[in-house]
Amino acid sequence: MLPTTVFLDDLIRRIPKAELHIHIEGSLEPELMFELAARNGLHLNYASTAELRRAYCFDNLQSFLNIYYEGARVLRTERDFYDLTTAYVQRATADNVRHAEIFFDPQTHTQRGIPFETVMEGLTAGLRDARSNHGMSAFLILCFLRDQSAASAMATLEQALAFRDQIVAVGLDSAERGHPPSKFAEVFARARSEGFRTVAHAGEEGPPAYIREALDMLKASRIDHGVRCEEDAALMADLAARRVPLTVCPLSNVKLRVFPSMEKHNLRRLLAHGLCVTINSDDPAYFGGYMNENFLAAQRALGLTQDEIHQLARNSFEASFLTTKERRRFIDDLDASLPEPMAGFPKHPDDSSRKNV
């Protein structure tokens, strides 16, 4: 590799980052999937981890979800959810992820008869150990499955109220087409009244109008994916003016055919338009890469500069649900990790510049 490439690769591996778009069930590696299946006496439809990995060739979001839900059924006990969380934390900290805001899908488990409490106890125990053993902070974001009914989402929210101190926000994920955010407006209004923040997947396979609905009807403070905003110039301008974060997942977008190749990804153009873009891994066990792999793939294909890499990492902390003091501490660490400060950016984030949405 050229010296500049070596330098930027090292920079990506070295700088602290926050991950804001990670589905914990999507971090289930084949080896752990087989281990949990054996532990729980379950049969998988694949003979080996190699055969399972060969199946990770997706035509669209739904083709991925079919395998994703097949894998998730091995998660049955508190220990299973603990082991899943611990495995992700170990992998994330190796990439210098200092803070993570982790999605989980309780309906995926409760509809199989797994108690909500079992899911929560396993996840929260794993995150407690993440802080004590690895120094990584983490929050949980409960996601509603948008291809299920609004009534099911509301029932799930009711179950979550007993754990409101352990869940920072609610979100919306799963099959996007045909399931607009407006379907869940009442559920999100109730969640906000109970003190939860709100985020939503929108503008991945769904149209830009779904992003607008997520902002206006769900009052989402972050948009997960959001890459199709580029199709609506007025929406793009609004997202930039209001500094609404987009949690973009480059490898996922290519794997699910949102873009035909990494070279065609619009991440760099979104940055150039002043949007608060972040890089994340989405479902890394299925899409071929955790945080650093996503950064490296984007840098090599799009020619990201040092300043752009720094900006993406900085955005990840600014877009987080950390307190002002915590964000400042992480951004100071980030700034100190670079040979020179990035021109044009203040030393500390100014919360007053982030308008409510």
CATH of the domain at 23: 3.20.20.140
Identify the CA nearest to 58 among candidates 252, 289, 243.
252
| pLDDT above 70 (res 348) | no
| pLDDT above 50 (res 305) | yes
Beta strands in the chain (DSSP E): 17-23, 97-104, 137-145, 169-173, 197-202, 222-225, 245-248, 276-279
Identify the CA nearest to 322 among candidates 54, 71, 101.
101
pLDDT at position 3 is 58
* pLDDT band at residue 61 using 50, 70 and 90 as cut-offs: confident
pLDDT at position 303 is 97
| pLDDT above 80 (res 344) | no
* pLDDT band at residue 114 using 50, 70 and 90 as cut-offs: very high
Average pLDDT over residues 160-177: 96
Question: Can you read off the two tokens belonging to residue 107?
Answer: 């309906």
* pLDDT band at residue 2 using 50, 70 and 90 as cut-offs: low
Residue with tokens 């979550």: 160
Residue 183: DSSP 8-state: G
**Cβ neighbours for 149, distance < 8 A, ≥ 6 positions apart:** none
Q: CB 179: neighbour CB atoms within 10 A?
A: 18
Average pLDDT over residues 120-124: 98
3 state SS of 100: strand
Q: What is the separation of C-alpha 143 from the centre of its chain, rounded to a whole number of angstroms?
A: 11
| pLDDT above 60 (res 278) | yes
| Annotated catalytic residue, options 25, 29, 176, 204 | 204
Average pLDDT over residues 194-223: 98
Phi, psi of 36 (to 5 degrees): -70, -35
Q: What are the distances in angstroms from CA 232 to CA 236, 238, 352?
A: 6, 10, 27
Count of domains observed in the chain: 1
Query: What is the sign, positive or negative, of the torsion defined by CA atoms of 129, 130, 131, 137?
Result: negative
Asked if 277 and 315 count as a contact pair (C-beta separation under 8 A), the reply is: yes
pLDDT at position 340 is 60
> Dihedral (C-alpha) 78, 82, 85, 88: value to the nearest 10 degrees?
-130
Q: What share of the chain is helix, strand, coil (3-state, %, to 5)?
A: 55, 15, 30
204 is catalytic: yes
Which domain does 57 fall in, by range? 3-353
pLDDT digits (tens, 9 = 90+) for 18-38: 999 999 999 999 999 999 999
- Amino acid letter, 353: S
| pLDDT above 50 (res 347) | no
* pLDDT band at residue 60 using 50, 70 and 90 as cut-offs: confident
CA angle 246, 248, 252 (to 5 degrees): 155
Residue with tokens 């050229």: 2
d(CA 102, CA 139): 6
Average pLDDT over residues 306-327: 98
Q: What is the separation of C-alpha 200 from the centre of its chain, rounded to a whole number of angstroms?
A: 11
Q: CB 342: neighbour CB atoms within 10 A?
A: 17
